[in-house]
Structure 1
């Protein structure tokens, strides 16, 4: 029985990771339906495993459950979008304040390597660039050594991707790399005020990239979208 439960958890974890990545990368966009049968067929699993994965995404506010029991990718309204950016400013400025002057040489090198990887990304508006941009903020928050803070920042970063997909330009990361480099520079020299200001400026420009408007309807095939993620997670 223990092995069976472990198997179900493993399958659910793979579906969760694939769906989450597709949402964060904006391949699956706000309002897209997530039918359990189509997802189950894609991964070759039962609806039970799919429901467990969707429940985790619902807890992270990345998925919404509708009355007809068909889950959809969450669609933050303008008020919620503003609240998300407000909380990101509060939490991530605190991250910058706490890290300034306290990073080890190894941590600074890790951050600089990440920024270099962002700079080397061939297409600045690609899914890879969008993922790397979010990972930069998760990486910073993880260095504070506070799991609660890191979890909240990670959730808000993911939900910001929904906002940019819904109201802004998909995969928009204009100027993000130079802004990330400015944050790392301020942190590495121990200038807390400059680090907080750089973070505030960066998040302000991210917010400006989302112009509040209604998203356009689109035609899509959730099975086709998830196919490459299913192969990747196999």
Structure 2
């Protein structure tokens, strides 16, 4: 198979960069459900063509984070409460599968890596809820990546970000201390097993996260996309 041209490789990398930046902005509540994402503004903000911006939006639309309307204006998706519940039901099933694969097989290095993420959550517990959502999402994505199973990693990553969008759509009495303690307990259960105990704890944790959500959509009128995305144009 012939190698892809340098320009295509560069374009693909830029699309990935923009997708990563927008996912983070959505999860951290910098971008709210209903915020418009014009291709020209995104292209200018990230220094890319409208075509690359359009491709990034198409990828995010496939992931359920962006809605593309008939007038070609893309907006951050606004899930309904019913959709959010469905997302969490699917997430619970997928993440129980993750811990089933990992239970009793987590290495010391992996446990340490997860604990470092929990420590970041602990340090951010009195900060913005959006940061807590992002860090919690990263914890669960990291768990999936530790299975080494590409299909499972892909589906769990997508559902975790869609769940993060659902949480960012609704104000909730987020308890970072609860999230931190629940993640610590998960690490211990996965490390020691048995799988049934780890699966039950994962389901209990995700149900608690869903229960802490409230119906309280936030408005987005008069918000400037260029200013919102400024901190996300350089990703650590």
15-24 vs 49-58, which deviates more? 15-24
Q: Does 1:64 align with 2:90?
A: no
Q: Does 1:203 align with 2:200?
A: no
- Of 72, 82, 85, 2:85 maps to 82
125-134 vs 48-57, which deviates more? 125-134
53-62 vs 38-47, which deviates more? 38-47
Task: Give runs of aligned pairs for residues 127-146 of structure 1, distance below 5 A.
Answer: 127-146=130-149
When residues 199 and 124 of structure 1 are mapped into structure 2, their CA distance, relative to the original with a 3 A threshold, is farther
Query: Once superposed, what is the RMSD of the aligned Cα atoms?
Result: 2.2
Residue-by-residue CA offset, 1:176-196 (whole Å, 9 max, x unaligned) = 110000111111222323212
Residue-by-residue CA offset, 1:10-34 (whole Å, 9 max, x unaligned) = 3323222211211122211111110
When residues 163 and 14 of structure 1 are mapped into structure 2, their CA distance, relative to the original with a 3 A threshold, is same
In structure 1, runs of 5+ residues without a counterpart are none
Give the TM-score normalised by the residue count of structure 2. Answer: 0.90
1:194 match: 197
In structure 2, runs of 5+ residues without a counterpart are none
Residue-by-residue CA offset, 1:84-119 (whole Å, 9 max, x unaligned) = 010011111222222111112222222222222222
1:30 match: 33
Alpha carbons 2:121, 2:176 under 8 Å: kept: no
When residues 128 and 81 of structure 1 are mapped into structure 2, their CA distance, relative to the original with a 3 A threshold, is closer
SS state at 1:33 partner: coil
Q: What number of residue pairs does the alignment pair up? A: 233
SS state at 1:108 partner: helix
When residues 7 and 107 of structure 1 are mapped into structure 2, their CA distance, relative to the original with a 3 A threshold, is closer
Alpha carbons 1:96, 1:196 under 8 Å: kept: yes
1:15 match: 18
Equivalent-residue separation in structure 1 for 2:8 and 2:173 (angstroms): 38
When residues 108 and 130 of structure 1 are mapped into structure 2, their CA distance, relative to the original with a 3 A threshold, is same
Give the TM-score normalised by the residue count of structure 1. Answer: 0.90
- Of 185, 189, 205, 2:188 maps to 185
Alpha carbons 1:126, 1:171 under 8 Å: kept: yes
